[in-house]
Amino acid sequence: QKPESDPQPVQVVSNQKSVETLRVISPVQLANSRPEQKEDQQQLVNTLQQENKELKAAVAELQAALEAERCRVAALEICLKNAESSKEEAQRRSEELQTDIQKFLEKRAPS
């Protein structure tokens, strides 16, 4: 069970409007505006709504990528713990065998 070691690239969408184009418009101002202004303002609202939708999608994608990365890290931590445990067990067994060999050789040695 070997997790992927290559992280998957994540595309980040960056949509920012100039602060100068973001004006707060009250409904009364919108009603009293000239038709061209109303159209421009409605277009701005539509653009901002579209950007908001795109940013929400990008956030959802990044959250999914983050969760996948967390799962990958958890799997790697389990693999590391298993490897450390196996190494410790092998070292313990090696020491036991070394002791057994020493005892065997001491018994065979002429007195």
pLDDT digits (tens, 9 = 90+) for 3-46: 454 444 444 445 555 444 555 666 666 666 687 888 889 999 99
- Within a domain: residue 12? no
pTM of structure:
0.54
**Does 13 reside within a domain?**
no
Domains of the chain: total: 1
Kindly state whether residue 2 falls inside one of the protein's structural domains.
no
Rounded Cα distance between 42 and 36, Å, is: 10
> pLDDT of 57-85, one tens digit each?
999 999 999 999 999 999 999 999 999 99
pLDDT of residue 30: 61
Q: What is the longest distance spanned by two Cα atoms in the chain?
A: 115
**Residue 92 belongs to a domain:** yes
Domain extent for 31: 19-108
